[in-house]
């Protein structure tokens, strides 16, 4: 008999809930977490300004109405420390700690055909066997430092935002260089600018950012909202992004221009990215429609940033709004009005090298005391690719995914029986409210395992035909939108040599959930089920 029913890799939102859900089904579970604490994203990304850009009422677990009622968020958009406290509270409240082993990295997982179990090896040399392997390694957890010639010569400290020191970093009186202007770069930049002697932002591609309009969650608002939380959660599950959004329901191109300006201005004042992109039906599918919202946003940037040359450099012109993650910040653009902030355009003068005293571009040298990389992640498949996963006949997952990661419903892949992936390639994952998608995935996985046990099956394996059909659908839906037009991390463009494949399902969280339910109701259609009683 296997040592465990399930091994879970990772203890972020996904791993924590997988431990709880599987244990509640009576399974023997252990999660291995490489970090020294739980929380995943919110354990590692402790940089100043780290904040969720989905509202706290949405970015939280819904599985326990009691938890939902007793926890109070302090702000509309929760900051990293508060989310980490929340996840700690969840682990305390549901007694999850005994089944989570910290400071332990899974290095290998191999399917033993004869025993129908996984042998999981950890970096302390231990091997544990389990009937099921659940990957909860995170879509944005394998961080990426660009290979910059001379970085090892740099005399000052350098940091990656995804491995920020827990004790913090004091930039007072320092000249700091920041590389990376995506969601994280945009969050950290104003925080550094507020204390550093000088901040130099090295920008390759400007990004669109909408205001958060972050504010405290007033007790009366909270009470009123919580009285209908159950109904709200249901609406969220049926929604497109995992957050109920009210749009106009009309295409922007059919709307009178003054009405369009009024609608966008209202949403800009209210803050938040999802309501902004969800305002009209055609913004993410029609370039001409997207041009309207892009122009509105560029006008706002030029209004905020005083120096016209800097404002122009900050105006994105090479990709549709929303095709790269839409950033959110209340103070990023205004930061460029500070005398201690300068912007260097790497398109016109590319990065050349680092030396002891600073950073050189093709045309200039910038003296720096510290360097910050906000250069993101090998998204979706990166963390799983770092594990030597071997399926049936010893086939390596890395090899199977050499042309790009793929999975049936984002949950399972042929040749890897009894292995489930939370928010894998082919799921709505990073283009949804991930807390909700994670819950939906974990519940589906727990349901599938329950079905196998109830019906006497030992194994479930996605069929190649089901995976092919699903990924063809994922691709077809993606290419009916503007998403593939951008050189984004969604498509792997930030990782040198990574195949350019768009693997996130943009057909909507609601329709995706329905499809998963149909598959389950049909006895796990698209999976080959096998075991002692399979013949019956």
Ligand X SMILES: Cc1cc2nc3c(=O)[nH]c(=O)nc-3n(C[C@H](O)[C@H](O)[C@H](O)COP(=O)(O)OP(=O)(O)OC[C@H]3O[C@@H](n4cnc5c(N)ncnc54)[C@H](O)[C@@H]3O)c2cc1C
Binding residues for ligand X (CB under 6 A):
9-15, 32-35, 40-41, 43, 45, 50, 52-54, 59, 105-106, 136-141, 184, 383, 387, 422-423, 433-434, 438
Neighbouring residues of 271: CB distance < 8 A, sequence distance ≥ 6: 210, 211, 212, 213, 214, 328, 330
Q: How far apart are the first and last CA of the chain?
A: 23
Distance of closest approach, residue 178 Cβ to ligand X, in angstroms: 15
Return the ∠ at Cα 526 (arms to 525 and 529), rounded to 5°.
Answer: 80
Nearest CB to ligand X, comparing residues 139 and 474: 139
Nearest CB to ligand X, comparing residues 53 and 286: 53
Nearest CB to ligand X, comparing residues 45 and 504: 45
Nearest CB to ligand X, comparing residues 120 and 201: 120
Helix (H) or strand (E) holding 177: strand 175-179
Question: How far apart are the C-alpha atoms of 390 and 121, rounded to whole Å?
Answer: 12
By CB atoms closer than 10 A (0-12, 13-18, 19+), residue 247 is middle
Return the half-sphere exposure (C-beta side, CA atoms, 13 A cut-off) of residue 118.
29
Residues 135/65, Cβ–Cβ less than 8 Å: no
Nearest CB to ligand X, comparing residues 14 and 370: 14
Nearest CB to ligand X, comparing residues 4 and 52: 52
Token pair 């009178």 is found at 256
Distance of closest approach, residue 458 Cβ to ligand X, in angstroms: 26
CA 156 to chain centre: 30
Distance of closest approach, residue 88 Cβ to ligand X, in angstroms: 13
Question: 298-305 contacts: CB < 8 A, separation 24 or more?
Answer: 300/268, 300/333, 301/333, 304/333, 304/334, 304/337, 305/333, 305/334, 305/336, 305/337
Q: Where are the beta strands (DSSP E) in 193-264?
A: 198-203, 209-210
Phi, psi of 192 (to 5 degrees): -70, -45
Question: How far apart are the C-alpha atoms of 478 and 475, rounded to whole Å?
Answer: 5
Nearest CB to ligand X, comparing residues 148 and 438: 438
* SS3 assignment, position 338: coil
- Residue 480 has a CB neighbour count (10 Å cut-off) of 13
Residues 241/433, Cβ–Cβ less than 8 Å: yes
Distance of closest approach, residue 386 Cβ to ligand X, in angstroms: 6
Distance of closest approach, residue 374 Cβ to ligand X, in angstroms: 9
Distance of closest approach, residue 148 Cβ to ligand X, in angstroms: 21
Nearest CB to ligand X, comparing residues 14 and 199: 14
Question: How far apart are the C-alpha atoms of 506 and 466, rounded to whole Å?
Answer: 18
Token pair recorded at residue 502:
């768009």
Nearest CB to ligand X, comparing residues 140 and 519: 140
Write the DSSP string, 367-417.
Answer: E-SEEEE---B-TTTHHHHTSEEE-GGG-BHHHHTTT----BTTTB-TT-T
CA 480 to chain centre: 22
Neighbouring residues of 38: CB distance < 8 A, sequence distance ≥ 6: 11, 12, 15, 16, 87, 88, 91, 100, 102
Distance of closest approach, residue 422 Cβ to ligand X, in angstroms: 6
Distance of closest approach, residue 16 Cβ to ligand X, in angstroms: 7
Distance of closest approach, residue 387 Cβ to ligand X, in angstroms: 5
Question: How far apart are the C-alpha atoms of 116 and 1, rounded to whole Å?
Answer: 10
Phi, psi of 206 (to 5 degrees): -70, 150
Distance of closest approach, residue 80 Cβ to ligand X, in angstroms: 8
Nearest CB to ligand X, comparing residues 139 and 292: 139
Nearest CB to ligand X, comparing residues 40 and 206: 40
Nearest CB to ligand X, comparing residues 326 and 482: 326
DSSP conformation class of 126: -
Distance of closest approach, residue 371 Cβ to ligand X, in angstroms: 19
Nearest CB to ligand X, comparing residues 418 and 437: 437
Nearest CB to ligand X, comparing residues 354 and 380: 380
Question: How far apart are the C-alpha atoms of 305 and 336, rounded to whole Å?
Answer: 6
């Amino acid at each position: 008999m296997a040592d465990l029913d399930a091994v879970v890799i990772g203890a972020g939102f996904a791993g924590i809930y997988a431990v709880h859900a599987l244990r509640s089904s009576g399974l023997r579970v252990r999660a291995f977490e490489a970090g020294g604490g739980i929380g995943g994203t919110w354990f590692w990304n402790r940089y100043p300004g780290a904040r969720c850009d989905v509202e706290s009422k949405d970015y939280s677990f819904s599985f326990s109405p009691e938890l939902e009622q007793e926890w109070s968020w302090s702000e509309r958009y929760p900051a990293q420390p508060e989310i980490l406290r929340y996840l700690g509270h969840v682990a305390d409240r549901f007694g999850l700690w005994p089944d989570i082993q910290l400071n332990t990295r899974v290095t290998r997982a191999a399917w033993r055909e004869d025993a129908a179990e996984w042998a999981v090896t950890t970096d302390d040399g231990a091997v544990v066997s389990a009937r099921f392997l659940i990957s909860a390694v995170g879509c944005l957890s394998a961080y990426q430092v660009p290979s910059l010639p001379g970085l090892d010569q740099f005399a000052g400290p350098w940091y990656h935002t995804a491995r920020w020191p827990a004790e913090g970093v004091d930039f007072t009186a320092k000249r700091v260089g920041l590389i990376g202007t995506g969601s994280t770069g945009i969050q950290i930049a104003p925080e550094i600018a507020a204390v550093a002697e000088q901040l130099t932002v090295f920008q390759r591609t400007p990004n669109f950012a909408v205001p958060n309009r972050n504010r405290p969650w007033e007790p009366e608002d909270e009470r009123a909202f919580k009285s209908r939380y159950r109904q709200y959660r249901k609406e969220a599950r049926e929604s497109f992004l995992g957050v109920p959004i009210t749009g106009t329901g009309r295409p922007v191109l059919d709307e009178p221009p003054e009405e369009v300006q009024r609608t966008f201005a209202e949403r800009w004042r209210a803050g938040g990215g999802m309501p902004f992109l969800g305002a009209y039906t055609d913004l993410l599918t029609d370039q001409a429609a997207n041009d309207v919202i892009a122009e509105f946003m560029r006008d706002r940037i030029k209004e905020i940033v005083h120096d016209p040359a800097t404002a122009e450099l900050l105006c994105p012109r090479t990709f549709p709004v929303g095709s790269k993650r839409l950033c959110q910040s209340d103070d990023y653009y205004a930061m460029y009005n500070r005398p201690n902030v300068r912007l260097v355009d790497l398109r016109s003068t590319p990065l050349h090298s680092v030396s002891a005293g600073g950073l050189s571009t093709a045309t200039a040298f910038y003296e720096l005391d510290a360097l910050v990389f906000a250069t993101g992640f090998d998204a979706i498949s990166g963390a799983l690719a770092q594990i030597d996963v071997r399926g049936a006949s010893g086939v390596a997952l890395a090899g199977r995914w050499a042309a790009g990661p793929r999975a049936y419903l984002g949950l399972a892949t042929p040749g890897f029986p009894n292995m489930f992936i939370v928010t894998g390639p082919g799921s709505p994952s990073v283009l949804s409210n991930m807390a909700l998608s994670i819950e939906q995935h974990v519940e589906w996985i727990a349901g599938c395992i329950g079905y196998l046990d109830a019906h006497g099956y030992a194994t479930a394996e996605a069929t190649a035909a089901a995976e092919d059909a699903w990924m063809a659908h994922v691709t077809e839906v993606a290419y009916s939108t503007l998403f593939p037009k951008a050189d984004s991390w969604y498509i792997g463009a930030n990782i040198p040599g990574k195949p350019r494949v768009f693997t996130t399902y943009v057909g909507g969280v609601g329709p995706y959930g329905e499809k998963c339910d149909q598959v389950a109701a049909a006895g796990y259609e698209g999976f080959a089920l096998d075991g002692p009683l399979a013949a019956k």
